[in-house]
Copies of this chain bind each other. A is one copy, B any other.
Amino acid sequence: MYGWRGKIGLILPSLNNTMEPEFNKMAPRGIAIYATRMLLAKGVPEDMEKLATDTEKASHLLKTADVTGILYGCTSGSLIKGVGWDKEIIRRIEDTTGIPSTTTSTAVIDAFKELGVRSVVVATPYIDPVNQIEKKFFEDHGVKVIAIQGLGYTTGEELHRESPETAYLFAKRVFRKEADCLFISCTDFACIEVLNLLEQDLGKPAMSSNTASLWGILKKIGIKERIDGFGEILRHL
């Protein structure tokens, strides 16, 4: 009997290689992960905007799987049109299914509040136009972005050959100690294994899109089990 404690439905960009394995690694006992994909061919603003087109259809597919909660699992895709875009997506999913839902960018903002974060350094795999949109989204929510830096990738091929070890190095290089928090953006950027080490070495919470997303959706469906090993936010359940 899979997912007897909770079934998480994932709506994710089609090229994503990371969210399903990382959610399966981190999910507590009794939580199962069910995924469906929407087309995203490249990590560029125009594709990210189109991503939401099929939201209703994807939501409906997951509803037939009788999921407990639905996560729209894309950071930039859920903030690409600025403040309010994430809430709009949530509304569309919940209108379609009646199932409690959230998006990655909603979860990230909620997690910043949970941890009392007022300033952040952001490490991303994105190109600069995407970074600037994300920066504005965070600052419009009252979180100062002290620095944001991207690897400049737009294809899965570039991103998927990176390992968590390179994420560690990149994030450490980008970080500035006056920030309250390190945030590694993108649900397709593999890094959960190094978040605890980054927290030790930097002395500040280190959060990724996937740890924030998992925390957000578990909280939404009423699961409260502290998860160790992947940074501060998942110890807050």
Where the two chains meet, the residues of A that have a C-beta atom closer than 8 Å to any C-beta of B are: 1-5, 7, 14-18, 20-22, 24, 29-30, 32-41, 58, 60-62, 64-66, 156-157, 160-163, 165-166, 168-169, 172, 190, 197, 200-201, 203, 222-225
Contact = CB atoms under 8 A, between A and B. Distances in A.
Contacts of A61: 14, 37-39
Given A21-B32, A30-B165, A201-B225, 12 more contacts: A14-B65, A15-B66, A30-B168, A34-B35, A35-B36, A37-B61, A38-B61, A39-B60, A65-B156, A66-B160, A163-B163, A172-B222
Contact of A20 (B35, B157, B160): B35
A168 B201 contact: no
Contact of A17 (B16, B35, B66, B172): B66
A17 B34 contact: yes
A122 B67 CA distance: 26
A4 B166 contact: yes
Contact of A36 (B36, B156, B200): B36
A98 B92 CA distance: 35
Q: Which residue among A37, A41, A203, A222 has the maximum number of chain B CB atoms within 10 Å of its CB? A: A37
A5 to B, nearest CB: 6
10 contacts: A2-B17, A2-B21, A2-B22, A4-B168, A30-B165, A37-B58, A37-B62, A37-B65, A172-B222, A201-B225
B39 A165 contact: no
Contacts of A168: 4-5, 30
Given A36-B35, A36-B37, A190-B2, A30 B224 contact: no
A37 B22 CA distance: 19
User: Can you list the 4 inter-chain pairs with the closest CB atoms, starting with the nearest?
Assistant: A4-B165, A14-B61, A36-B37, A14-B64
Nearest to A169: B4
